[in-house]
Amino acid sequence: MSNPFRALPSVDALASRLENNDAPRPRLIAACRTALDQARDMIRLGEGPPSEAELVAAVARILAEDDRLSLRSVINATGVIVHTNLGRAPLSTEAQQAMIDVARGYSNLEYDLAAGRRGKRDTHVEDLIVEITGAEGALVVNNNAAAVYLALSALAVGREVIISRGQLVEIGGGFRVPDVMRQSNAHLVEVGTTNRTRLADYANAITEQTVALMRIHSSNFRMIGFTEETSLDAMVTLAHERDLIVLDDLGSGTLLDTGLYGLDHEPTVFESITAGADVITFSGDKLLGGPQAGLLVGRRDLIEQLKRHPLARALRPDKLCLAGLAMTLKHYRDGEAIEKIPVWQMITMPLAQLEARARVWTGRLGGKVRDATSTVGGGSLPGNTLPTRAVALQVDAPDQFVARLRQADPPVIGRIQDDLLWLDPRTVLPNQDETLLAIVESALA
């Protein structure tokens, strides 16, 4: 019996058959080696050697895959609105354009056009944040974890910060509040129990070394049953009586009342400011619906102190973030957040509209329109769901099918439940419908 491995050409021989390819020779050689390695693996599994045309096609496919950037746009059909693994909040069309505009060339990032001299990058968003929230001052850093770290490093180094045991949370990526407090050189003082913390617990823990009381909003989990939590108003009253400050980490940091849209009430930035919290931190890329950023708002003197801290420069956002964030904030200022910001478009999308889109999808793909639930995601509003109408498809080998969808261009991310492929139109941008349908049709074929 002839050796099937001998039927394979050498790397150089295969490369010579692709000499008209535009790829640099080192890349071409590497692709040929990969194609031949794959062919040997298939032979070991009992298949015959591929033809020359099949090898040439394999090399072309490998080169095309290598040309794709690792970070790519995907279609999110999971029904999770703020999907951490899929880049969290998609940006409004206007925010995207604002980022493109400053990316095309030079910008006045740190240049005062009116004065004709060096300016500060903070000014591009600070006035908008102050106008929208009513805070005295504002600062933006590159994410909310950085915002918490900066606040503690600048305001509490070497001093005590009192926090409820029930709020010593861990968020995504292993970020733990006790760890960041230690890294900031603030001294953590835990009070109360996991499920109950009273105002007296804070009062009894205050010493001459105490500088702040801190609240961490448990945005990614819910505690029920025999629980008690001290209100922010009460914490502020106690802190200010003792000449201390209150740090309030809201996490998701919504500017709109989620209770108006079929969800539980999420503490808003306005409520924290009204209660008198001195520094409030929250994310820009969750319920705010903008690019990744951490926002700090509050007392002017404390915000100025944060701006002067050396970490502020290390944690500052770039021009693209500031451009996208400024336009996102402008949507709120102009009262058009629901209409313009995709996260809020998805949250408020009527069931009838979801039903209509799902019916169109089943008309092309088959399957059935089923009642289902969408979630906000991104560590926001745990346990809350929104009713939706999704498409449920019966497919052969579901795990292999969704793997094919992930290899499409662009990749389509759905979910498998009860051995069915579920596609939720709530998280698919309307201009992606046709692309999604074509990709799923191709996979079904």
Residue-wise pLDDT tens digits, 11-65: 999 988 887 778 888 999 999 999 999 999 999 988 888 998 999 999 988 998 8
Residue-wise pLDDT tens digits, 410-427: 999 999 999 999 999 999
For the chain, domains (ranges, CATH) are: 8-67 (no CATH), 75-85+344-444 (3.90.1150.180), 91-340 (3.40.640.10)
Res 170: pLDDT: 67
pTM for this model (two decimals) = 0.87
From CA 291, how far away is CA 94, in angstroms rounded? 13
From CA 298, how far away is CA 273, in angstroms rounded? 7
From CA 159, how far away is CA 214, in angstroms rounded? 13
Res 68: pLDDT: 83
Q: Which residue has the tokens 């298949």?
A: 47
Which residues, given as ranges, of the chain have pLDDT below 50?
A: none
Res 312: pLDDT: 95
Helix (H), strand (E), coil (C) string for the chain: CCCHHHHCCCHHHHHHCCCCCCCCHHHHHHHHHHHHHHHHHHHHCCCCCCCHHHHHHHHHHHHHHHHCCCCCCCEECCCECCEHHHCECCCCHHHHHHHHHHHCCCCCCCEECCCCEECCCCHHHHHHHHHHHCCCEEEEECCHHHHHHHHHHHHCCCCEEEEEHHHCCEEHHHEEHHHHHHHCCCEEEEECCCCECCHHHHHHHCCCCEEEEEEECCCCCCCCCCCECCCHHHHHHHHHHCCCEEEEEEECCECCCHHHHCCCCCCEHHHHHHHCCCEEEEECCCCCCCCCCEEEEECHHHHHHHHHCHHHHHCCCCHHHHHHHHHHHHHHHCCCHHHHCHHHHHHCCCHHHHHHHHHHHHHHHCCEEEEEEEECECCECCCCCEEEEEEEECCCCHHHHHHHHHCCCCCEECEEECCEEEECHHHCCHHHHHHHHHHHHHHHC
